[in-house]
Amino acid sequence: MNPPVVIGHRGACGYRPEHTLVSYRLAIALGADYVEPDLVSTRDGVLVARHENEIGGTTDVAAHPEFAGRRTTRTVDGTTLTGWFTEDFTLEELRTLRAVERLPHLRPGNTRFDGRFRVPTFEEVLHLVDMESRRLGVPIGVYPETKHPSYFSSIGLPLEPPLVDALRRHGLDRADAPVYVQSFETANLRALAKVLQVPMVQLAASSGAPADLQALGDPRPSRDLLTPAGLADVATYARAVGVSKDLVLDGSSTLVQDAHAAGLVVHAWTVRQENAFLEERFRRGRAHEAGDAFGETEALLEAGVDGLFTDHPDTAVEARHRWRAESLATRPPRPLPVPPPSGNLA
């Protein structure tokens, strides 16, 4: 796939409840090159697609009196949460729940789908992507994120073995497969890079720190991964960095150039059309109203990113089309970053 790629963030969750098969299917229909399932585990070790393992805000679990006793408080990566957690449910039990819109105050139109769709397994997402790729005659990529891998390992439900098994079952453990595996942690990416042929993506935000490093007493914040020295280290186990868009849109940022110099591609997250999520210069109206997501997307493309995550794939695809047309008319196509010879290309 030619960059910049469009990644359907949790599917097309600007239009459908996130992490549902209908959301992924719509993202593909709207032109996304990849769909992104966040992966957490059930009690019986099955990977399912949820942004967090706490599911009180993304399912109708609170309306199920049979699960009232499962409500509890947990500390996950240093954050204390109260609710219902996937690791307390078997897959069979989770099948009785239905997805709901996570942001009803900003996306009230999506609430009409509340209660209609169940929580999909990673296996079902891979099957959908395979079927849609065959139907359309073009490869649709999958971009899974391991959520809280250290936490899940600590409770005896590591995410990595079932992830590797699923990719191999679907013939996706190969260097040319349209797959990226991403994580905010570093250790599990280093381990996965040794057993998978697909590229790893090191996620980094403008604040916070990798949970695995914090657990070891390492004080480095996430932003340290994005210094020239940090990027050189990331390039030994990953082929891309996935970064918060504010780190790119900062007018003084050299992040994209530094990453490319280290042989890494850059994917930015997350473009959403609601003003509440847009950079201030692209806002047009009230928080729930649509702002200039086209402008923000084009600014990211102009900054040199090789891909972007979006809740509204159709907007990103159209912005990319316009940007490409203008770019071809004014400048030659940019080359892909070349990984340094010392990089781990396993």
- In angstroms, how far is CA 94 from the centroid of its own chain? 22
Structural domain harbouring 239: 5-330
pTM of the model: 0.94
- Banded model confidence at residue 332, pLDDT cuts 50, 70, 90: low
Mean predicted confidence (pLDDT) in 262-277: 98
Q: Is residue 293, in this structure, part of any structural domain at all?
A: yes
Q: Is residue 342, in this structure, part of any structural domain at all?
A: no
Q: Is residue 156, in this structure, part of any structural domain at all?
A: yes
Range scoring the smallest mean pLDDT among 66-70, 86-90, 95-99, 328-332 = 328-332
What value does the mean pLDDT of the chain take?
95
Q: Is residue 288, in this structure, part of any structural domain at all?
A: yes
- In angstroms, how far is CA 241 from the centroid of its own chain? 12
Structure tokens at 103: 């942001």
SS3 sequence of 176-215:
CCCECEEECCCHHHHHHHHHCCCCEEEEECCCCCCHHHHH
- Banded model confidence at residue 345, pLDDT cuts 50, 70, 90: very low
Let me know how long the chain is.
346
Q: Is residue 346, in this structure, part of any structural domain at all?
A: no
Q: Is residue 85, in this structure, part of any structural domain at all?
A: yes
Whether 329 shows a pLDDT value over 90: the answer reads no
Report the pLDDT value the prediction gives residue 24, as an integer from 0 to 100.
98
Q: Is residue 214, in this structure, part of any structural domain at all?
A: yes
- Banded model confidence at residue 326, pLDDT cuts 50, 70, 90: confident
Residue 141 burial by Cβ neighbours in a 10 Å radius (0-12, 13-18, 19+) = buried
Best CA proximity match to 304, nearest among 243, 220, 248: 248
Report the pLDDT value the prediction gives residue 340, as an integer from 0 to 100.
55
In contact, 275 and 300? CB cutoff 8 Å: no
Report the pLDDT value the prediction gives residue 343, as an integer from 0 to 100.
40
Render pLDDT for 76-126 as a digit per residue (tens, 0 to 9).
999 999 999 999 999 999 999 999 999 999 999 999 999 999 999 999 999
Q: Is residue 336, in this structure, part of any structural domain at all?
A: no
Report the pLDDT value the prediction gives residue 42, as an integer from 0 to 100.
98
State the total domains in the chain.
Answer: 1
Range scoring the smallest mean pLDDT among 42-46, 215-219, 332-336 = 332-336
Residue of higher predicted confidence among 327 and 161:
161
The CATH number linked to 123 is: 3.20.20.190
- Banded model confidence at residue 2, pLDDT cuts 50, 70, 90: low
